[in-house]
């Protein structure tokens, strides 16, 4: 067994020539053949499948096609190398299986010497940028929540101080009086709007009842010959009342729509501005109180920094308070003018329409609607269209 191991080790020894090169004649032949293939290129017509490995028996070679034309082209570098006219290639090039050529060396020499080194900056830039953006958004949200918390604390403290009589409150007596009048007026106009809607509903039911009664009288006039004239007169009267009632309903609906716009849009918009003004007043007083407390304390370096920051916040909220106070004053003025103009027209329409209807003056009723540009809706127009029902 020891002899067989030694014989195997002897067969595994690598012969070394006189120049210290461990290459054999078979390796040189293989390298030359590879270099020839690299220069001339493989010929697909000569492709074969080797089943027994390189240097195997001839029976293991299966040709894939017949040979057409010359299979080998003349390679001058290969010929010179075989004759020993070219220097021996560098061993590092041998280890890579590449022989340096003069044409390749000249092309490499003509190329610029600066080659950008591979970098991972582009691959890492997107994750880094997204991480920085996420961190920036988080910091911004944290600052926003912090400012909101401080502002809420100061305003809540100021509100409780005012309710318990411990804090001072900025009051514009003239503006506060106008705001109180507006709130009372809005309550009264809402009551008018509610009663007008109830009147519309009741009057609409009465008109529908008159229409049904007129249809019944007309049917009985056809089926009762002895009372045909009496039923006919009543049917005609009810139809006339129904027609005038529909005209009056158009006037009342126009009145209700105008009052609704005045109360729930114009007045509501002014009240929203007033609410913003009151919030700004509360913030202004809160930061004013904070500035007064800091000014009454010690005057060291840290306190001076806090006083300066409080002064800036006080000035910001003061400007906001004065701007909103001016907006409220302007809106109250325009609201009063608009209210007088709208109510003058609507009250005159309501009076003339009601008077003409109960006086039985159909011409005056229709003239009143034309005077105020009231367009009657055709019957069934209140029903939603088939597109809206889908």
Residues with Cβ < 8 Å from 349, sequence gap 6 or more? Answer: 251, 254, 255, 368, 372, 374
In order of 32, 40, 194, 208, 248, the CA distances from 204 in angstroms are 111, 105, 15, 6, 10
Average pLDDT of the segment spanning 276-291: 90
- pLDDT of residue 54 exceeding 50, the answer is no
The segment with the largest mean pLDDT, out of 102-111, 115-124, 370-379, is 370-379
DSSP label of 356? H
Put residue 38 in one of left, alpha, beta given phi > 0 → left and psi -120 to 50 → alpha. Answer: alpha
Q: Indicate the range of 130-144, 184-198, 276-290 predicted with least confidence.
A: 130-144
- The answer to whether 71 and 134 have CB atoms below 8 angstroms apart is no
Reduce the DSSP state of residue 62 to 3 states and report it.
Answer: strand
Contact of 267 with 182, CB cutoff 8 Å = yes
> 157 in helix, strand or coil?
helix
3 state DSSP class of 48: strand
Give the separation between CA 344 and CA 262, rounded to whole angstroms: 13
CA–CA gap between residue 349 and residue 157 (Å, rounded): 52
Backbone φ, ψ for residue 87 (5° rounding): -65, 155
Phi, psi of 263 (to 5 degrees): -80, -50
Model pTM score: 0.58
Q: Give the separation between CA 310 and CA 296, rounded to whole angstroms.
A: 13
In tens, the pLDDT along 65-107 reads 444 444 445 555 655 565 555 555 444 444 444 444 555 445 5
Q: CB under 8 Å to 339, separation ≥6 — which residues?
A: 185, 262, 266
Confidence of residue 341 (pLDDT cuts 50, 70, 90): very high
Cβ atoms of residues 65 and 47 within 8 Å: yes
The whole-chain average pLDDT of the chain stands at: 74
What's the CA gap between 374 and 383, in Å, rounded?
20
Helix/strand/coil (H/E/C) assignment for every residue in 362-389: HHHHHHHHHHCCCCCCCCCCCCCCHHHH
């Amino acid at each position: 067994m020891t002899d067989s191991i030694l014989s195997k080790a002897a067969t595994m020894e690598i012969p070394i020539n006189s120049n210290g090169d461990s290459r054999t004649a078979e390796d040189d032949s293989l390298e030359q053949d590879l270099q020839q293939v690299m220069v001339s290129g493989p010929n697909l017509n000569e492709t074969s499948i080797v089943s027994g490995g390189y240097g195997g028996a001839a029976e293991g070679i299966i040709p894939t096609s017949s040979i057409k034309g010359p299979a080998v082209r003349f390679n001058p570098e290969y010929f010179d190398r075989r004759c020993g006219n070219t220097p021996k290639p560098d061993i590092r090039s041998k280890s890579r299986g590449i022989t340096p050529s003069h044409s390749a060396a000249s092309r490499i020499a003509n190329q610029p010497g600066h080659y950008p080194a591979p970098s991972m900056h582009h691959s890492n830039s997107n994750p880094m940028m997204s991480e920085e953006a996420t961190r920036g958004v988080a910091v911004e949200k944290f600052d926003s929540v912090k400012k909101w918390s401080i502002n809420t604390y100061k305003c809540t403290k100021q509100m409780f101080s005012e309710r318990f009589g411990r804090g001072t409150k900025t009051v514009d007596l003239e503006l506060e009086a106008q705001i109180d009048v507006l709130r009372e007026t809005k309550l009264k106009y809402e009551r008018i709007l509610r009663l007008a809607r109830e009147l519309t509903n009741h009057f609409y039911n009465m008109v529908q009842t008159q229409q049904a009664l007129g249809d019944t009288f007309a049917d009985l006039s056809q089926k009762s010959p002895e009372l045909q004239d009496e039923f006919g007169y009543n049917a005609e009267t009810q139809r006339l009342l129904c027609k005038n009632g529909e005209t009056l309903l158009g006037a009342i609906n126009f009145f209700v729509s105008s009052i609704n716009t005045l109360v729930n849009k114009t007045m509501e918009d002014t009240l929203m501005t007033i609410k913003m003004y009151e919030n700004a007043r509360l913030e202004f007083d809160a930061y004013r109180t904070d500035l007064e407390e800091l000014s009454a304390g010690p005057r060291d370096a840290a306190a001076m920094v806090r006083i300066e920051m409080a002064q800036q916040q006080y000035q910001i909220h003061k400007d906001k308070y004065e701007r909103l106070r001016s907006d409220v004053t302007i809106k109250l003025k325009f609201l009063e003018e608009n209210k007088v103009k709208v109510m003058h027209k609507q009250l005159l329409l309501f009076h003339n329409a009601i008077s003409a209807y109960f006086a039985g003056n159909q011409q005056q009723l229709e003239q009143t609607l034309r005077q105020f540009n009231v367009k009657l809706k055709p019957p069934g127009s209140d029903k939603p269209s088939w597109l809206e029902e889908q």
